[in-house]
Amino acid sequence: MKIFEVGHQAKSSKARTGKLYTPHGTVETPCFMPVGTQGTVKTQMLRNLLENKVQIICTNAYHIYLRPGLEIIKKAGGLHKFIGFNRPILTDSGGFQVFSLAKIRKIDDDGVTFMSHLDGSSHKFTPELVAHIQNTLAPDIKMPLDECLEWPSTRSATLRALQHTTSWSKRCKLANQGGILFGIVQGGGFSDLRKRSCQELLEIDFPGFAIGGISCGEPKQLSRDMIEAVVEELPPDKPRHLMGVGPPEDIIEYVKLGIDMFDCVIPSREGRTGTAFTSQGKLIIKNAQYKEDFTPIDPDCRCHTCTNYTRAYIRHLFQAGEILGSVLLTLHNIHFYMELMRDIRKAIK
């Protein structure tokens, strides 16, 4: 079954529009996925997401496996029904969280053993278990178990992680039941290893590809070089998802390099902590200069926040510790990101 169709191709770059076909609807690309780690985009009701034309969200298999657990999701009839979202969902395998959150971990050829960051309980993620978790969640798009490394890492460690990722990807594919399973390209900051990862995943034959291990502390130029190296190797008729990258200026740059899909916690995390993205750049609402500023967060924005509330009021909410401040800024940021992607698609066309 064809899951992706390229639409318009820019003349001056590798930017392109496309359509991603999933069991819960078609996603226009380039797209941005707000992250709902625990099955919710923090502070937002699903109605807010729908009203702001969010096409697809990203959730996390690691977190949902630990809490509330697979039995609850199974009894609910899958993740879509449990959270009440009837549009496409992508689940990350949790590989990054195992390596970034778990207190103690041990990696071998079979998988990774780790202690939960919640209660210290011991768990072992094998490719088969990760596939089983996502089979139970039943999202539209799934990710295999991969090994993530911090930057910088030695070539030998990066090669070992690549070998694990390839092996685990094969096993995840064999255990997958339904949905769309992407392969994840690893290889750290070594372009030849990135290309090797691409070739090995192409042999396994995935319908789409994610690029992992970017924006992990490496210099921006190295990120760009690695993305360019990967895009050169991947087939043009399959979607490319850049994992965990979300600053607006980076999205614009990487769309030009040929990336179709993005996910990141930035719009919701920054909104909760008092930062708004605007047409004029970032705005830190807690700053004293906004105490008597009765203009919208962004005069050029038509979101619910900007058409109903002022900077002075939202600053007051943050100063008073009222959760509504986080709700309103996150809503604005999500609207900003959806409009950014719409404008990018329009510009490419």
Any catalytic annotation for residue 119? no
Any catalytic annotation for residue 92? yes
CB 80 within 8 Å of CB 133: no
Lookup: tokens for 182: 């992407």
Alpha-carbon 315 to chain mean position: 29
CB 61 within 8 Å of CB 137: yes
Q: Which of 140, 260, 263, 298 is catalytic?
A: 263
Q: Which of 92, 146, 250, 260 is catalytic?
A: 92
Active site residues: 92, 263
